[in-house]
Amino acid sequence: MPAVGRNVLRKEGTGKVTGAARYVDDLSFPGMLHGTTVRSTVASGRIRAIRLEFDPSGFVVADARDVPGRNVVALIEDDQPCLADGRVRHVAEPILLLAHERRESLLDARVAIDYEEEPPVFDPAASPRVFKEISIVKGDLARGFEAADQIVEGEYVTGLQEQLYIEPNGVIAVPENGGMTVYGSLQCPYYVHKALVVLLGLPPEKVRVVQTETGGGFGGKEEYPSILAGHAAILARKAGRPVKMVYDRVEDMLATTKRHPSVVRHKTGVRRDGRIVAMDVDVLLDGGAYVTLSPVVLSRGVLHATGPYRCDAVRIHGRVTMTNTPPNGAFRGFGAPQTQFAAEVHMERIAEALGMDPVRLRETNLFRPGDTTATGQTLGEDCSAGAVLRAAVERTDFDRRRRELAGSSSGIGLSLFFHGSGFTGGGEVRLASRASLELTATGARILVGSTEIGQGTRTIHAQIVADALEIPYDSVEVCEADTGLVPDSGPTVASRTCMVVGKILENCALEMKRRLGSLSPARYLALHGPLVVTREYEKPAELAWSDETYRGDAYGAYGWGCNVAEVVRDPDTYEVRPVRLTAVCEIGKAIHPVLAAGQVEGGTAQGIGYALLEEVVVRDGRMANAQMTNYLVPTTLDTPPIDVILLENPYFYGPHGAKGIGEMPIDGPAPAIVNAIRHLGLDVREIPATPERILGAPCISR
């Protein structure tokens, strides 16, 4: 019986329900010290003096001078120091590291730092520094607007969002074999590996990164672990002993990356019949103090900024700028939730302006196979925008329900969205990801750098390999994500682990099957010795993309989604509560239906928090509510029943037709909920739509 498409027993399940799974804070090494970070308390300035106000005996103290290699967090640009060297650019910037055998002793280690403060930049629109600017142009915008009967304009705002994985960031650095091994809670072991090689000035083979069981990531453990691993490694090198650094919740919230805040402006030309004829979109993201991943977040943001709608005259302009706040970074969706929130609330406003039914408006404009996107990509038969919209409207009896609720204290709204799977444009080519498959006496062992962070990586990879090799699922083992053992399969991000890495593995398995011929694994090993098949990402020949012009096939495939949200408003407290959320997602193929539904349910719940609850309060560049008591994520009582419908329209180059799934579910809930609030007659254009914002929202004039 094939494994794909069935709910086989998860490879990574048992340890998590028995307590046997070891997360980084559950590990200890002989002679291990505990490390802590002394951070900036000002947003911008020069460091004048650092004074240790404690007896340093028994402590290891490290600063920028202790960096043996280059003092940078190597990522896209090397502008972020691992430890501040002379000046600071955001609150919570790491300056000094301390380690001690007793964690408690670190609490008494007072360090005074004198700054010469400089005026900080907090407004991204007024920032003197642009990290990245991207323009996408299609057709003739001026002529498009000339053909319009009406022009609708609007500005839409989204706030910071904290990933709030329940396990905070943590690593242990262990000096060994003349090099450094780091164990940690992380998504991308080879990102950390690359950063440590540069920071420590060591040859690659002297650095080893091992992912420990990871208690959630959502992007928050994509790039951040590189700086934390660097800190632990600097201390461990100086101490000559293992050093553990595990953040508490406050430090994790104050210091680590969050979703970029955005301001998106739309100006849209539309004809009386609802046809959109011109789209002009301006995207501004707040990058924080250093570049980190901001250019790529902006890229995904602008590539999704039109929403899933065809238009022959499009201009999208995006920029991400510097502010003196902690760097913003990867978070599930990666720019697309921001821009699609704007696009979908704007669509609702166009429908209101035309007096048109919101479903009809979307039907009129949605992408169909053969349509071209803003970058000129021609969509294939796996384009499912119409199918997900129809399924959601039917499932919820949307038209009838919308009429029934009109004028009541309940509202219903929808959102239509898409999400590119895998890296943007030429990104997958540059990554050149590799995966390996090793023959074992009873089957095969998977060797990939992809990490299990809750999504079920090991399970789905094993399913794909089992079916390609035509062996039982239980005969496939999965090696731990240890850079000493597995090749670089690229980062575990961007909804690429199934579609991209899974496909490479499938190719490995097919080649292994050819090599085996009619021999059993045991027989092959006896006759020919060990067999390891390694394959690299192969770009589908017809995909073409230019980073210079931003023209071409931005993504190999897109997932398609439609959300319908029903909300109820309390007229006295201005609270809006979601009562039901329907999520239709077209994902190519559900390799493991329970895991796939879990991705949609979880992403949807995070989207509900993004829409209504999750507000990072920033004062003077510092998160003022860095506690779980005051940064509110949805509990059981805040999360309505989530009705998931998975549709499958296969992508030719995905394993069994699979596309990406992990990120897309978070794109839809915020606009669907805000559109349901608009159905209540309230003009909300900013999230989170907290009761305080609802109170201030004007009524929609009809």
When the beta carbons of 249 and 265 are compared against other proteins, the nearer one is 249
Longest dimension (CA), the chain: 80
Residue written as token pair 């499938």: 506
Q: Single out the residue of 2, 14, 125, 149 in contact with other proteins (rule: CB under 8 A).
A: 14
215-234 footprint of other proteins as x/- string (CB under 8 A) = xxxx----------------
Report if residue 695 touches other proteins, rule: CB under 8 A: yes
Report if residue 409 touches other proteins, rule: CB under 8 A: no
Three-state DSSP class for residue 303: helix
Residues with Cβ within 8 Å of residue 608, at least 6 apart in sequence: 578, 581, 634, 638, 639, 640, 669, 673
Phi, psi of 438 (to 5 degrees): -110, 130
Report if residue 699 touches other proteins, rule: CB under 8 A: no
Instruction: Please list every residue from 570 through 599 that binds other proteins, using CB under 8 A.
Output: 571-575, 577, 594-595, 597-598
Left (φ > 0), alpha (ψ -120 to 50) or beta: where does 190 sit?
A: alpha
The window from 86-94, 371-379, 396-404, 602-610 that contacts other proteins (CB under 8 A) reads 602-610
Question: For residue 354, what are its two tokens?
Answer: 């035309």
Instruction: Please list every residue from 94 through 123 that binds other proteins, using CB under 8 A.
Output: 104, 107-108
CB-CB contact of 655 with 498 (8 Å): yes
Nearest-approach distance from CB 559 to other proteins, in angstroms: 18
Residue written as token pair 């490479």: 504
Phi, psi of 691 (to 5 degrees): -55, -35
Nearest-approach distance from CB 394 to other proteins, in angstroms: 21
The whole-angstrom distance between residue 208's C-alpha and the CA centroid of its chain comes to: 25
Q: Single out the residue of 85, 474, 638, 683 in contact with other proteins (rule: CB under 8 A).
A: 638
Nearest-approach distance from CB 382 to other proteins, in angstroms: 26
- In DSSP terms, 72 is beta-bridged to none
When the beta carbons of 306 and 459 are compared against other proteins, the nearer one is 459
Nearest-approach distance from CB 355 to other proteins, in angstroms: 32
**Nearest CA-CA partner of 505 in 470, 475, 466, 557:** 466
Residues with Cβ within 8 Å of residue 314, at least 6 apart in sequence: 136, 137, 138, 139, 141, 278, 279, 280, 281, 306, 374
Instruction: Please list every residue from 300 through 339 that binds other proteins, using CB under 8 A.
Output: none
Left (φ > 0), alpha (ψ -120 to 50) or beta: where does 566 sit?
A: beta
Q: Residue 14, exposed/middle/buried by CB under 10 A (0-12, 13-18, 19+)?
A: exposed
Nearest-approach distance from CB 175 to other proteins, in angstroms: 24
Residues with Cβ within 8 Å of residue 126, at least 6 apart in sequence: none
Q: How far is CA 13 from CA 10, 33, 459, 601, in A?
A: 5, 31, 9, 18
Q: Single out the residue of 57, 518, 635, 701 in contact with other proteins (rule: CB under 8 A).
A: 635
The window from 191-199, 212-220, 362-370, 515-523 that contacts other proteins (CB under 8 A) reads 212-220
Report if residue 210 touches other proteins, rule: CB under 8 A: no
Q: Where are the beta strands (DSSP E) in 594-676?
A: 618-619, 622-623, 642-647
Three-state DSSP class for residue 56: coil
Nearest-approach distance from CB 157 to other proteins, in angstroms: 17
When the beta carbons of 432 and 594 are compared against other proteins, the nearer one is 594
Question: For residue 19, what are its two tokens?
Answer: 């307590």
Report if residue 426 touches other proteins, rule: CB under 8 A: no
Nearest-approach distance from CB 683 to other proteins, in angstroms: 18
When the beta carbons of 117 and 692 are compared against other proteins, the nearer one is 692
The Cα 222–Cα 294 span in angstroms is 13
Nearest-approach distance from CB 616 to other proteins, in angstroms: 10
Nearest-approach distance from CB 164 to other proteins, in angstroms: 6
When the beta carbons of 22 and 523 are compared against other proteins, the nearer one is 22
When the beta carbons of 80 and 606 are compared against other proteins, the nearer one is 606
Report if residue 150 touches other proteins, rule: CB under 8 A: no
For residue 682, give the DSSP letter.
Answer: B
Q: Single out the residue of 53, 629, 698, 702 in contact with other proteins (rule: CB under 8 A).
A: 629
Instruction: Please list every residue from 452 through 481 that binds other proteins, using CB under 8 A.
Output: 453-456
The window from 109-117, 270-278, 287-295, 629-637 that contacts other proteins (CB under 8 A) reads 629-637
Q: Single out the residue of 1, 18, 55, 514 in contact with other proteins (rule: CB under 8 A).
A: 18
Instruction: Please list every residue from 240 through 279 that binds other proteins, using CB under 8 A.
Output: 248-250
Instruction: Please list every residue from 25 through 84 that binds other proteins, using CB under 8 A.
Output: 25-26
Report if residue 497 touches other proteins, rule: CB under 8 A: no
CB-CB contact of 319 with 133 (8 Å): yes
The Cα 155–Cα 115 span in angstroms is 38
The window from 13-21, 53-61, 192-200, 379-387 that contacts other proteins (CB under 8 A) reads 13-21
When the beta carbons of 632 and 700 are compared against other proteins, the nearer one is 632
Q: Single out the residue of 5, 6, 16, 317 in contact with other proteins (rule: CB under 8 A).
A: 16
When the beta carbons of 8 and 383 are compared against other proteins, the nearer one is 8
640-679 footprint of other proteins as x/- string (CB under 8 A) = -xx-x-----------------------------------
When the beta carbons of 130 and 250 are compared against other proteins, the nearer one is 250
CB-CB contact of 613 with 675 (8 Å): no
When the beta carbons of 139 and 326 are compared against other proteins, the nearer one is 326
The Cα 190–Cα 202 span in angstroms is 15
Instruction: Please list every residue from 156 through 175 that binds other proteins, using CB under 8 A.
Output: 163-168
Nearest-approach distance from CB 563 to other proteins, in angstroms: 13
CB-CB contact of 581 with 672 (8 Å): yes
For residue 511, give the DSSP letter.
Answer: H
**Cis ω for the linkage preceding 578 (within 30 of 0):** no
Q: Single out the residue of 312, 511, 601, 683 in contact with other proteins (rule: CB under 8 A).
A: 601
Instruction: Provide the CB-side half-sphere exposure for 260 (13 A, CA).
Output: 37
Radius of gyration of the chain (CA): 25
Report if residue 637 touches other proteins, rule: CB under 8 A: yes
Nearest-approach distance from CB 603 to other proteins, in angstroms: 8
Residues in the chain: 702
How many residues of this chain bind other proteins (CB under 8 A)? 78
